Amino acid sequence: MGETEYAVIGGGLVGMAVAFGLQRAGRRVTVFDEGDVAFRASRGNFGLVWVQGKGAGLPDYARWSRLSAALWPELAAELEEASGLKLELSQPGGFDICLTEAELAAKAASMAALRARLDGDYPFEVLGHNRLREMLPAIGPKVAGAIYGPEDGHVNPLYLLRALTAAFLGRGGRIENGAAVAEIAPLAWGFRIGAAPGWRAEKVVLCAGLGNARLAPLVGLNAPVKPNRGQVLICERAAPFLPYPNLHVRQTGEGTVQIGASSEDVGLDDGTTPQAMAAMAKQAVDMFPVLENIRVVRAWGALRIMSPDGHPIYEASRAHPGASLVTCHSGVTLAACHALRLAPWIAGGSPPVPYLESFSADRFALSPAA
Amino acid sequence: MPIDSPFRRLPDAQARTLAFTFAGRELEAREGDSLAAAILAAGIATTRHTPVSGAPRGPYCMIGLCFECLVEIDGEPNRQACMVEVRDGMRVKAMQGARGLGKGPADE
Ligand SMILES: Cc1cc2nc3c(=O)[nH]c(=O)nc-3n(C[C@H](O)[C@H](O)[C@H](O)COP(=O)(O)OP(=O)(O)OC[C@H]3O[C@@H](n4cnc5c(N)ncnc54)[C@H](O)[C@@H]3O)c2cc1C
């Protein structure tokens, strides 16, 4: 039981980026995290810092993702300095590899449409097989081509989480582990966190991933998030063969080859299935035949946190001022924006970008589908 | 040949003797030995150097979990020595760093 200025609920990548950013803005922060029994996307994701293809339905999401990718080197440098860890951030550009001409043409058309909606300011290239092979000699004969996004990259997401945590604790932040918050009660001044007597916080930021759906209504917010499962295969370390990340295969800074990720609507089931694993492995070998004999050393499933349109939700409660909500589907990519731009806004600053309202949950109330 | 190993065979070990090589050295094993056990019994503690830090590693858990005992067996990289039985004539090498991604024994 105690008192804090800001209570951040959830200690995943979103919560820790927000907590670190609030602290950087001079706030006193306590993070409450449910622990190992929770579904935690931050411990099972693919590690891409990814821009291309995002925002086809909402150009502001493309702008926001690009801003985060551009801010990533600053975040990485600060976290590496504070934690002594190496995050393995690499942003050489990345590929969305297509195995058929039809798929490549469809993706090229969708990227061109997005570029038009962004007044031409959206860099990408469409590469056929031969040009792609000059950049990625390991592609197989079945590859039709790829979209190249010069702003894409990847990072070690586990070191990212560890570095955020270490930096936050190192600067005097506090984390309550094993602290599943079931109740949040608005008080005359501030909030009670947890069952009475609970903690008292001036402000509360919901960053609880899938847990937000249940917590948000307690403080007048709406977080209609649902799980979507992704399975990931981890292969043995190999000599470097893949100098650029792509959506399906990446080689980490330590040489590990990762193959991902399925997309399955199976509710709160984070298991693995031979069918999904076999399909992912086959696709990876079609793209990169040198992987034919590589050994898979482990596999897991993890749950994405999906809003109805896949875009982030950032919202300050009108009913209960001082409460806010931060949730998104790409918490690795957006970590830099969350720490360096969104947190200062939650700390009381002005909106970091003129289009922040695009990410309000109001869009779900207005859409006929909701 | 006397060997300097903390591992001692049971006095009733009767199994047939097999020959294999590790890093070019001719060694003996007993039929039924795991490769990791045979290497340890021969007094060898280091079976690879890691791809990340280059630190030396050797067999540790002996039950297939820790992946520390990775070796190259007859040209095939990154095999778990504790999960493989020694065969007569097996040629085993230490893993030095990460495996290459070529095909089979031609691998470097
Ligand atoms: C397979 C897969 C691949 C992915 N690949 C990428 C990628 O390449 N790039 C990218 O940018 N993103 C990727 N993502 C998405 C990314 O992992 C998530 O956006 C990010 O981890 C979300 O972080 P989070 O903190 O919101 O959620 P989580 O990591 O789920 O954390 C939520 C936290 O809230 C806590 N919590 C929940 N309820 C409560 C409660 N009631 N009280 C207290 N604490 C609570 C939990 O303990 C948990 O730690 C991927 C996701 C998956 C599943």
Q: Which residues of A touch B101 (CB under 8 A)?
A: 138, 238-239, 241, 290-291, 294
pLDDT digits (tens, 9 = 90+) for A294-344: 999 999 999 999 999 999 999 999 999 999 999 999 999 999 999 999 999
Predicted ipTM?
0.81
- Structure confidence at residue B5 (pLDDT): 77
Spatial distance between the Cα atoms of A167 and A76, rounded to a whole number of angstroms: 11
Structure tokens at A215: 């917590």
Over residues A175-181, mean pLDDT: 95
The CB density around residue A120, as the number of other CB atoms within 10 Å, is 8
CB-CB contact of A91 with A77 (8 Å): no
A239 and B78 within 8 Å at the Cβ level: the answer is no
- Structure confidence at residue B11 (pLDDT): 79
Eight-state DSSP code of residue B85: B
The CB density around residue A306, as the number of other CB atoms within 10 Å, is 19
- Structure confidence at residue B8 (pLDDT): 82
Tokens 């670190």: give the residue: A20
Confidence of residue A370 (pLDDT cuts 50, 70, 90): very low
Q: Could you tell me how many helices (H) and strands (E) chain B has, helices first?
A: 1, 7
Over residues A249-259, mean pLDDT: 95
- Structure confidence at residue B4 (pLDDT): 72
B46: left (phi over 0), alpha (psi -120 to 50) or beta: beta
Nearest residue (by CA) to ligand 1, atom 28, is: A40
Q: Strand (E) positions, A131-255?
A: 145-149, 153-154, 174-176, 184-186, 191-193, 199-206, 226-237, 249-251
Whole-number average pLDDT of chain B = 89
- Structure confidence at residue B2 (pLDDT): 54
- Structure confidence at residue B107 (pLDDT): 40
Over residues B29-51, mean pLDDT: 95
The reported pTM is: 0.93
Predicted confidence (pLDDT) at residue A229 exceeds the cutoff of 50: yes
Dihedral pair phi/psi, residue A295, rounded to 5°: -95, 135
A237 and B100 within 8 Å at the Cβ level: the answer is no
Helix A157-170 and helix A13-24, axial crossing angle in degrees, nearest 10: 40
- Structure confidence at residue A368 (pLDDT): 54
The answer to whether B106 faces chain A, any CB pair under 8 Å, is no
CB-CB contact of A325 with A331 (8 Å): no
Structure tokens at A163: 């570095």
Over residues A187-195, mean pLDDT: 94
Q: Is the dihedral of CA A128, A152, A49, A136 positive or negative?
A: positive
Spatial distance between the Cα atoms of A113 and A122, rounded to a whole number of angstroms: 10
Closest CA to A67 of A369, A342, A304: A342
Confidence of residue A366 (pLDDT cuts 50, 70, 90): low
CA–centroid distance, residue A306 to ligand 1 (Å): 10
Reduced to 3 states, what is the DSSP secondary structure of residue A90? strand
**A-chain residue closest to B99, CA distance:** A238
Whole-number average pLDDT of chain A = 96
Structural domains of chain B in order of their starting residue, each with its CATH number:
29-96 (3.10.20.740)
Predicted confidence (pLDDT) at residue B108 exceeds the cutoff of 50: no
- Structure confidence at residue B10 (pLDDT): 81
Q: Which amino acid is at A319?
A: A
Structural domains of chain A in order of their starting residue, each with its CATH number:
2-81+157-225+309-366 (3.50.50.60), 94-150 (no CATH), 226-306 (3.30.9.10)
pLDDT digits (tens, 9 = 90+) for B58-75: 999 999 999 999 999 999
Of A90-94, A132-136, A149-153, B51-55, give the lowest mean pLDDT range: B51-55
Spatial distance between the Cα atoms of A319 and A219, rounded to a whole number of angstroms: 7
How many CA atoms lie within 13 Å of A312's alpha carbon, on the beta-carbon side?
30
Predicted confidence (pLDDT) at residue A124 exceeds the cutoff of 70: yes
Q: Which residues of B touch A236 (CB under 8 A)?
A: 78, 99
- Structure confidence at residue B105 (pLDDT): 40
Q: Which residues contact B37 (CB under 8 A, 6 or more apart)?
A: B7, B59, B62, B82
The answer to whether B55 faces chain A, any CB pair under 8 Å, is no
- Structure confidence at residue A36 (pLDDT): 85
Q: Strand (E) positions, A18-139?
A: 29-32, 48-49, 94-98, 125-128
Pairing of strands A199-206, A3-9: parallel
pLDDT digits (tens, 9 = 90+) for A149-171: 999 999 999 999 999 999 999 99
The percent of residues in chain B predicted with pLDDT above 90, rounded, is: 76
Helix, strand and coil in chain B, % to nearest 5: 10, 30, 55
Over residues B25-46, mean pLDDT: 95
pLDDT digits (tens, 9 = 90+) for A267-299: 999 999 999 999 999 999 999 999 999 999 999
